[in-house]
Structure 1
Amino acid sequence: MYNYIVKQLVKKSFALVNERRFDELVNSMVLNVRHSFAGDHALGGVRHDQAAVRAWLGRLARIMPTLHITVNDIIVKGWPHHTLAIVRWTATATLLNGDSYVNKGVHFITLTWGKVTELDVYEDTLAVYNGLEKQYAAGIEEAHAPQIIS
């Protein structure tokens, strides 16, 4: 039963990203949440608090306004005081130049008593980089911005 509840929470969190309801999403995290996104680009780096994660999500929405993430699989391990959810997903978008963006990746989400404490994202960093380059060339300057780190 507990694993089912966590899976529902995880599905809801991805729906909140797709719906751009970032405040609600960030409120499900501890204040000093750790969020890492692989890659040496505008979306990469590590954040250590809700404010930086909120800023990162805003940047994601501005750079990839049509991004949609589909959850493919969720595995849950652990107990309420320390839970690990592993999520395989596929992200798609239409870039400003009309090209399709497709990326596959994995989230490792650590929860304590239902609150996200750590969020590590591993994806095809070359796909992200190429997508950012195309968005920059189409006029989204933030696609070349320095990483949001805290």
Structure 2
Amino acid sequence: MGLYHRIVARQVRNAFAQISAGNWEAMVAGMAPSFTYRFYGDHALGGERRTHEALRSWWERCFRLLPNTRFEVRDVLVNGWPWNTRVATAVTVHVGVVDGSTYENVVHQFLRIRWGKITEVRTLEDTAVLEKTLDRLAAAGYAEAHAAQITG
């Protein structure tokens, strides 16, 4: 792996560390003016966002429902050059859920970066595991766990 690829991998690992520390705004700031952020699944955290405002609203919801989220990065694969960089990650997420329970899942994410700004994020998590947690939260009175997707 070349120097550029190592730098990008370090930046991606740092972004996950920042989010784990509660600073998801750093991730929002890393998005290009025009981007697509897709989280797969037909649930309150699923959907596609294309604006910084919608992405902020989505992160706020994530941290209301899953407030103590910690990402453990397993793999970061980087390919391409500054004008067309592709990144694939494998991450384990450990969460202290708003109802006091815990949640763990595996996350795979694909990013496209152009000149240091993220233009595309596609996130796939085991949706069956996530949906069970959201269903349990909704049944316990956390209505946002079954809210409409945040898009825009």
TM-score calculated relative to the size of structure 2: 0.93
Q: Distance in 2 between matches of 1:140 and 1:16?
A: 26
Q: What residue in structure 2 maps to residue 127 of structure 1?
A: 129
Q: Deviations over 1:49-82 (max 9, x none)?
A: 2111111111100010112111110000000000
**Following superposition, which runs of at least 4 residues in structure 1 exceed 6 angstroms of deviation?**
none
- The CA deviation at 1:22 is 2.3
Q: Distance in 2 between matches of 1:115 and 1:88?
A: 20
| Residues 1-150 of structure 1 mapped to structure 2, 5 A cutoff | 1-150=3-152
Unaligned runs of 5+ in 2: none
- The aligned amino acid for 1:82 is N
Q: Distance in 2 between matches of 1:102 and 1:59?
A: 18
TM-score calculated relative to the size of structure 1: 0.94
Query: In 2, are the aligned partners of 1:97 and 1:134 still within 8 Å (CA)?
Result: no
Aligned residue for 2:150, secondary structure, equals coil
Unaligned runs of 5+ in 1: none
Q: How many corresponding residue pairs? A: 150
Query: In 2, are the aligned partners of 1:36 and 1:45 still within 8 Å (CA)?
Result: yes
- The CA deviation at 1:16 is 1.8
Greater shift in the superposed pair: 118-127 or 94-103: 94-103
Please, what is the CA RMSD of the aligned residues? 1.3
- The CA deviation at 1:12 is 1.3
- The CA deviation at 1:98 is 4.4
Q: Deviations over 1:15-53 (max 9, x none)?
A: 121122122221111122200001000000111121111
Q: Deviations over 1:101-125 (max 9, x none)?
A: 1110201010001110000001100
